[in-house]
């Protein structure tokens, strides 16, 4: 998992509440277990017409936001089913941070496990960042995880809270597998002791 330290880039506004995981990545794209290639179908039913043409008005189809790395969204983002493909699709598109007033719990947890920083902020602060994001290519926002600060295009600074353990994992690029591998020596030592004391278990 890539480390998340400081992120600077365009923020895209998505002022929609209750964006569920089927809106993020529709069910017909869940046949793969690969984490790559899903970005082209992110928000598929909003980005494309039934015959596959881009919807010009959708934010991520607009030239200013095609390379957005931050998404400013409405409340209860990521509700619905628990599909991990949702953060995979966001990450594959290039989104590394989502800012919203609230998130569905399972989606929120899945974001951290896949290198995405979800930030909860009061509605009035989200509204301010939403206004900043509407500036298009000038909507350059910096998210500093170490300092827990968001800096807007005008230089204004917003503090945010994040669980210390989750912060540690993102800063060091540690997913569940990475955390386990940090204890590889202890695991190997335990297995060696077990093979010596109870060899029949290894037969």
77 phi and psi angles, rounded to 5 deg: -70, 135
For 52, left (φ over 0), alpha (ψ -120 to 50), or beta?
A: left
| Whether the predicted pLDDT of 54 surpasses 70 | yes
Helix (H) or strand (E) holding 179: helix 176-181
Question: Does the reported pTM lie above 0.85?
Answer: yes
Tell me the β-bridge partners of 143. Answer: 7, 150
Lowest mean pLDDT among 56-60, 164-168, 190-194: 190-194
pLDDT, mean of residues 100-106: 97
Q: Is residue 86 very low, low, confident or very high in pLDDT (cuts 50, 70, 90)?
A: very high
| Whether the predicted pLDDT of 178 surpasses 70 | no
Helix (H) or strand (E) holding 63: none
| Whether the predicted pLDDT of 187 surpasses 80 | no
38 vs 36: CA distance, rounded Å: 6
User: What would be the CATH architecture of the domain defined by 6-172?
Assistant: Alpha-Beta Barrel (3.20)
- Domains of the chain: which residue ranges? 6-172, 176-203
Helix (H) or strand (E) holding 41: none
Tell me: the pLDDT tens digits for 194-203?
A: 777 887 776 6
Share of the chain above pLDDT 90, in %: 76
- Read off the tokens for 136: 């298009």
């Amino acid at each position: 998992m890539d480390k998340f330290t400081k992120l600077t880039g365009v923020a895209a506004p998505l002022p929609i509440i209750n964006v569920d995981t089927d809106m993020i990545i529709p069910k017909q794209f869940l046949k793969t277990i690969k984490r790559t290639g899903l970005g082209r179908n992110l928000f598929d039913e909003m980005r494309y017409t039934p015959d596959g043409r881009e919807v010009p008005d959708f934010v991520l189809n607009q030239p200013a936001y095609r390379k957005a790395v931050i998404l400013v969204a409405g409340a209860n983002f990521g509700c619905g089913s628990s599909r991990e493909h949702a953060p995979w699709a966001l990450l594959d598109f290039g989104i590394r941070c989502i800012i919203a007033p609230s998130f569905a719990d399972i989606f929120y947890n899945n974001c951290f496990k896949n290198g995405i920083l979800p930030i909860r902020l009061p509605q009035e602060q989200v509204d301010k960042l939403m206004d900043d994001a509407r500036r298009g290519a000038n909507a350059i926002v910096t998210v500093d995880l170490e300092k827990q600060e968001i800096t807007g295009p005008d230089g204004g600074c917003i503090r945010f809270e994040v669980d210390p353990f989750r912060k540690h994992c993102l800063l060091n690029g540690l997913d569940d597998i990475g955390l386990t591998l940090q204890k590889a020596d202890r695991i190997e030592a335990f297995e060696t002791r077990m093979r010596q004391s109870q060899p029949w278990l290894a037969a």
